[in-house]
Amino acid sequence: MRRELLACAFSLVCAGCGGDESSATSGGGGSAATAGASGGGGQAASGGGGTAGTAATVGSGASGGTGAVPPTDGGGGTPSQVPSYDVNAAKRSGCQFGSGLKTTDTVGPQVPHGDALPFEHIVVLMMENRSFDHYFSSLPAYGVTDVDVASPTDSNPDPTSGKPVQRYHETRYCIEDVNHEWDGTHTQYNAGSMDGFVTTNNPGGARAMGYYTDKDLPFYYWASKTFSMSDRHFCSLLGPTWPNRFFFYGATSWGNIHTGSIDPITSDTFYKAPKITDQLKQAGRSWKIYRDGATSFAVVWGLSSENIGVHTTEFYKDVQADTLPHVSIIDPNFLGAGQNDEHPPANIQLGQQFVSNIYQAIAGNPTVWKKTVLIVFYDEHGGFYDHVPPPEACEPDNLLPPTNRFDRLGIRTPLFIMSPFNKAGYVSHLVTDITSVTRFIQNRFDLPSLTKRDSNAWPMLDMFDFANPPFVTPPSGAPSAAPDPAGVTWCSQNPPGTGLP
């Protein structure tokens, strides 16, 4: 019976993954890319020391970036951003903490935690398949200068033409999927050269070098500039959707590296291992999954009512009635005409509108707003270019993949947080990954870590000012997130974009 349920769940969720596995056939992705691409390194090092929020060992990295001010320590953040109560930052950087520990053990006894924190609800909204530079490299022109972004002149080699492909402003909102599988992403990373994005997506691999601006993503740019964001947030591994989403739930992928299949050797662990939702339930804390489409991601663990969740119309009702659970996990619509998860070829502006609607609902109820934290982040980079080499990471457990290891984070992705307590216009340079969101939840509800990865993760607390909340009243001036009619029309009348526009 469990196998039948799993097959059903896989068919539902795979339909919404936009062909994660099949995307590997576009351009292959096994052999190393040609080295020596211009750009692809910024001032960040390829070293790192895990997901801790401390200065990491500086490595080598190609020059690049714009006039924006990047971190100076090779990807581990600036010492001035490390709170005084974080007395164990160096130990976390060295992956010295095992599983089963609370943040009072791994950060320090004075860390703000538990019911002493002034909020009751955490809303997590994980979107799909976009890299940081792909979305946010135009932030300096928008007025956010303390941020590390790629240069417009960064490029990747194209072996089919013999000429490099330079980054360009993408004018199409619906793009053909790009390679983001385990082998393909390791080729894109290429030992820190960050030069395999075009070759792993040929033919038409130039589309991996496109980027958007505030004109394309006005609400995202406003939210990131107004509240708090990170330019050192990475997905949890160099691979696709499912394993990265597993890291949110379990702080590991239990050895799995693919979307749509589970290693039979670890399948029992996959089912039985504790997850953040189990921790919440055992601690007497409420949680609920809200899905905007026909399925939620959690159905991969079986078709229980908890895993299936309820439609997001119930989220809006719960906000209005002030009946949100302690943790709300929101899944966008992964498939069909209403797809708004931002996974190619979905229209990115439909996803932006969805996120804006969630924010506006929370901000529109003053009682709920004053006690809620909304975290928006992405499962992985989707195959799109980013210039920062991912740092080293703490291996979560002894369940290892058949090739490579889990000792490095994945490609950099967007993360921004909106709440009354977020520092205004703050850019965090402290290294985080998906398990940092898990750790933030654990810190609020005094839950122990699940694996070595979340035990050594920084829980993003530098992004908050709990003593003097900057946004007791929600800020004004949020731009409209209504999709551009011309972009919607283009998507409806054309096949997804590939190559250059």
3-class secondary structure, 216: coil
Cβ–Cβ under 8 Å, residues 385 and 197: yes
Contact 294, 337 (CB under 8 A): no
pLDDT of residue 80: 83
Q: Output the pLDDT for position 276.
A: 98
Pick from 232, 200, 215: nearest CA to 73: 232
Q: What is the DSSP string of 344-385?
A: TTS-HHHHHHHHHHHHHHHHT-HHHHTTEEEEEEES--TT--
Q: Give the Cα separation of 173 and 187 in Å (integer).
A: 26
The backbone torsions φ and ψ at residue 289, rounded to the nearest 5 degrees and listed phi first, read -100, 130
> Hey, CA dihedral for 282, 283, 286, 288, is it positive or negative?
negative
Q: Are 423 and 470 in contact (CB under 8 A)?
A: yes
Task: Report the SS3 class of residue 432.
Answer: strand
pLDDT at 265: 85
On whether the CB atoms of residues 21 and 241 are closer than 8 A, the answer is no
Using alpha carbons, list the distances in angstroms from residue 431 to 49, 148, 232, 411.
9, 13, 5, 12
220 in Cβ contact with 135 (< 8 Å):
yes
- Residue 317 CA to chain centroid, in angstroms? 27
Whole-angstrom distance, CA of residue 448 vs CA of residue 104: 10
Strand order in the sheet with 415-418: 310-311, 287-291, 327-331, 121-127, 372-378, 415-418, 228-230, 426-428
Residue 31: the pLDDT is 35
Kindly give the confidence (pLDDT) of every residue in the chain, 501 residues in length, as a single tens digit, with 9 standing for 90 and above: 445 445 555 555 665 565 565 443 333 333 333 333 334 433 333 333 344 443 332 222 333 444 344 443 334 456 689 999 999 999 999 999 999 999 999 999 999 999 999 999 999 999 999 999 999 999 999 999 999 999 999 999 999 999 999 999 999 999 999 999 999 999 999 999 999 999 999 999 999 999 999 999 999 999 999 999 999 999 999 999 999 999 999 999 999 999 998 988 889 899 999 999 999 999 999 999 999 999 999 999 999 999 999 999 999 999 999 999 999 999 999 998 899 999 999 999 999 999 999 999 999 999 999 999 999 999 999 999 999 999 999 999 999 998 999 999 999 999 999 999 999 999 999 999 999 999 999 999 999 999 999 999 999 999 999 999 999 999 999 999 999 999 999 999 999 999 999
Distance CA(103)–CA(436), nearest Å, equals: 11
Nearest to 71 by CA among 47, 43, 49, 29: 43
Cβ contact 367:114 at 8 Å: no
- Specify burial of residue 489 (Cβ count, 10 A radius: 0-12, 13-18, 19+): exposed
Is the separation of the CB atoms in 352 and 220 below 8 Å? yes
Yes or no: say if 255 and 400 are a contact pair by the CB < 8 Å rule.
yes
Q: Residue 337's pLDDT is what?
A: 84
Burial of 108 (0-12, 13-18, 19+ CB in 10 A): middle
Bridge partner residues of 175 (DSSP): 497
Query: Any idea what the Cα angle at residue 251 is, between residues 248 and 253, rounded to 5°?
Result: 90
Q: Is the peptide bond before 203 cis (omega within 30 degrees of 0)?
A: yes
Contact 386, 430 (CB under 8 A): no
Residue type present at position 493: Q
- Helix (DSSP H) and strand (DSSP E) numbers for the chain: 17, 12
